A and B are shown apart, each in its own frame.
Chain A
Amino acid sequence: MLYREAGQFKTTYAEDMAIFPIRQDRMALAILLGIAFIGVPLLADFDIWPFGSDYLLRAILLPFLILALAAIGVNILVGYCGQISLGSGAFMAIGAYSAYKLGTGVHIPLAWFDFAISIPPLPVLLAILLGGLTAAVAGILFGIPSLRIKGLYLAVATLAAQFFFDWVFLRVSWFTNYAPSGSVNAPTLDFFGLNVGTPIERYMLCLIFVTVFAVLAKNLVRGNLGRQWMAIRDMDIAAELIGIRPLYAKLTAFAVSSFIIGVAGALWAFVYLGSWEPLAFSIDRSLQLLFMVIIGGLGSIVGSFVGAAFILILPILLNLIPSELGVPLSTETITHLEFIIFGSLICYLLIKEPHGFARLISLGKEKLRLWPFPY
């Protein structure tokens, strides 16, 4: 009864092709966006628990939004196009460092030609987007091997990207503006004269980025390009036979995915950390993102969000619950317990539902359609 579509007639092609053709979906989304865009700032403004402290905004929602954005990027490549990548951390780093360079001014002396390329510091928003663009270019370059190699072999090739960029950002001090410690500070976040400083402003900034990119990504995967990606994923030879160019499809997937991951990396560095070192984008980050996508659901935009929430928030909750309940456990025990519980939960979940949370959600919807008589 709750989820009955009876009576919802689609009379135009536009209605039939809408992102959310079912009214209940639209309503749920509207409520969700309403909470995210209006509810959270209001609650934070009136200091209502648990939004009163910065903790929820700065330490949970902010990283959740940014990692969800990165997970969307990874999902496009891994979930929709089937190109397994272990280099997502590197693309985040490329986004972060190139945005940093562009945001603080680029100076390349070309001694041979007695000439120097100088770009003045760009506005932060532009720097972040261009950071994503740089990551997209790098993504295309490292995507070229995908034309010859597949699956696990490609994963190893992208792993090379991970280690290569870790090395570059550690060693080439030009990228860190010759900072003695190799740790760089993000420029102040000024957007059109508006300084984004408070946690709620930062949250809104990330929310806007995530919403826009999620909608764009959702539309992209529903369209021509997305169908090409999925055809390549399902069977590349068959896809080629029906006239899809693997070169074009694979490289666009790498480009779009790296662009989104690069923007997420720039946000992670600029908005969340504020000051960072290459270790912030190490192989651990790549694996974390891959797990998010696998657990959330390969080939699902919603799954990226749920996966990010699961991977990011569950350990924090496992960490918080004993201390909130006043159970005297040492931090050591909690951390080890966290590893055990987290690991077993992932195993259990993937055995019970190998298609991740996204599949669970769609199953739930199916059941609601037939409610109260699900079978």
Chain B
Amino acid sequence: MVRNKLILAAAMLSSAAIAAPAAAQNEQFIPILSYRTGAYAVNGVPYANGVADYYNLINERDGGINGVKLLVEECETGYATDKGVECYERLKGKGPTGAAFINPLSTGITFALTEKTTTDKIPIITMGYGRADSKNGAVFAYNFPLLGTYWSAADIAIQHVAKELGGVDKLKGKKISLLFHDSPYGKEPIPMLQVLAKKHGFEFTPIPVTHPGVEQKSQWLAIRQNRPDYVLVWGWGVMNGTAVKEAAAVAYPREKMIGVWWSGAEPDVTPAGDQATGYKSLMLQHGAGKFPVHADIEKHVYAKGKGASEPGKVGEVLYNRGMVNAMLGVEGIRKAQEKFGKKPLTGEQVRWGLENLNLTEARIKEMGFEGMLKPIKISCSDHEGAREGRVQQWDGKGWKIISDWYTANQSDTEPLVEEVSAKYAAEKNVQPRDCSKES
């Protein structure tokens, strides 16, 4: 009897599984690679919530992009590269036209997917992370490190240090250390910082911290001995909070620590309590806080009980970043619809949209992002679009913006981008596109 029931149940389950894929055709599929578990979950969760809420907002408020509903599916990567590749393979073909684009949310997964997405013709959006040389769209046709790469971040950080010291010439003879997560993510800024160290004459010391970053005693011992003038922090997840606590333990002034934009969110400083007061970090244009778009999210998503996050966490740094990230993808699709029609688009068409994306001041205001972002213009040769950032400081309760806008110096970053991307093109037999001929 029991066995018969089991067989019946199995049959019902499998028929349900076969019936499931029959979905509406006027939908644009967007995969979300996220991590809500594992060592980096504290930072992964608010980010994923921001992404999910913004897509939800587009569906709830506007009924999709020009009538094309967004169909999203999340896949848990746990920050592991092989899981990320599996998620990508699972989701890339879903929906009527396949994935519009993909956000891997991990520099390691970005590296592993770069070649695959080019073959599959699916854009890979790595907002504020990913490989810095992929700014060169002529070589990396499908990579979009929008809003800033780690090389831009390194340049902005050094600009801020110079300003605090009272001039670029004061950098000479100073000691700047980089405390970095020992993975492609943490290593990305090193070549840029080496270039800058040579140019400005400061002494640069990279200090690696192994994954996941809870063990930093010896690194901080080295810092205590060496007494650098500044410590740049390139950490993620639990590593950031640990760095702040260890700095307090060796009495290194938190005011002299500058985190990258992935090391400057609420989960990074709140566990350290008062010890974190004074800690600084870069901002990927936006910081924490609520803007007109948040009112829309509260009205159209949270009021209907469809919000992904606890309402109190809306407007945190990483939540906002997830939202901006989702918005850029949506705008890419919207732009592509101008050329290819108001229907679900393929990854190749969305790539055109992203490459011709031009978010003006007016458009940013219209979307409710005013004050969060500066205008962004993507082109064939420039897949970064904007290279601006500010610095924020934790006062014990919230992040305060303490600087004006900095723009990364293209004359510093560009030669390195050219050099490294040319090397990639040679290694992989990529024929760089002639950007003057692209429409």
Q: How far is the CA of A284 from the CA of B76 in the complex (A)?
A: 17
- Among B89, B114, B424, which residue has the most Cβ atoms of chain A within 10 A? B89
SS class of chain B's interface: helix, strand, loop or mixed? Answer: helix
Known: A181-B131, A181-B184. A273 touches B82 (CB 8 A): yes
B16, B183, B184: which contacts A325 (Cβ < 8 A)?
A: B16
Chain B interface category by residue count: 35 or more
Docked-complex contact B76 and A183, CB < 8 angstroms: no
Docked-complex contact A275 and B114, CB < 8 angstroms: yes
Binds B, one of A51-59, A347-355, A367-375: A51-59
Residue of A nearest to B416 (CB): A180
B372 lies within 8 A of chain A by Cβ = no
Chain B nearest Cβ from A201, distance in angstroms:
13
Binds B, one of A223-231, A331-339, A358-366: A331-339
Known: A324-B20, A325-B17. A59 touches B86 (CB 8 A): yes
Which chain B residues in 287-315 approach chain A with CB under 8 Å?
none
B271 lies within 8 A of chain A by Cβ = no
Which chain B residues in 101-123 approach chain A with CB under 8 Å?
107-108, 111-112, 114-116, 119
A183, A272, A319: which contacts B184 (Cβ < 8 A)?
A: A183
Known: A183-B108, A332-B36. A55 touches B188 (CB 8 A): no
Docked-complex contact B20 and A55, CB < 8 angstroms: no
Known: A273-B112, A331-B75. A324 touches B93 (CB 8 A): no
| Chain B hits for A8, CB < 8 A | none
Give the A-binding residues of B (Cβ under 8 A): 13, 16-17, 20, 34, 36-37, 45, 73-76, 78, 80-82, 85-86, 89-90, 92-93, 107-108, 111-112, 114-116, 119, 131, 182-185, 187-188, 190-191, 208, 210-211, 420, 424, 427-429
Given A273-B82, A277-B184, list of 16 further CB < 8 A pairs? A58-B89, A59-B89, A181-B184, A181-B187, A183-B108, A188-B428, A188-B429, A197-B119, A279-B80, A279-B108, A280-B82, A316-B86, A323-B73, A330-B74, A332-B37, A332-B76
Which chain A residues in 272-318 approach chain B with CB under 8 Å?
272-277, 279-280, 282, 284, 316
Residue of B nearest to A184 (CB): B111
CB within 8 Å: A-B pair count: 108
Docked-complex contact A274 and B115, CB < 8 angstroms: yes
Chain B nearest Cβ from A274, distance in angstroms:
5
The 3 closest A-B pairs by CB, nearest first: A59-B89, A181-B184, A332-B36
Docked-complex contact B211 and A279, CB < 8 angstroms: yes
| Chain B hits for A334, CB < 8 A | 76
| Chain B hits for A187, CB < 8 A | 427
18 contacts between A and B (CB under 8 A): A54-B92, A55-B90, A58-B89, A59-B90, A104-B427, A180-B190, A180-B420, A181-B131, A181-B184, A182-B187, A187-B427, A197-B119, A273-B81, A274-B112, A277-B111, A277-B183, A321-B17, A335-B78
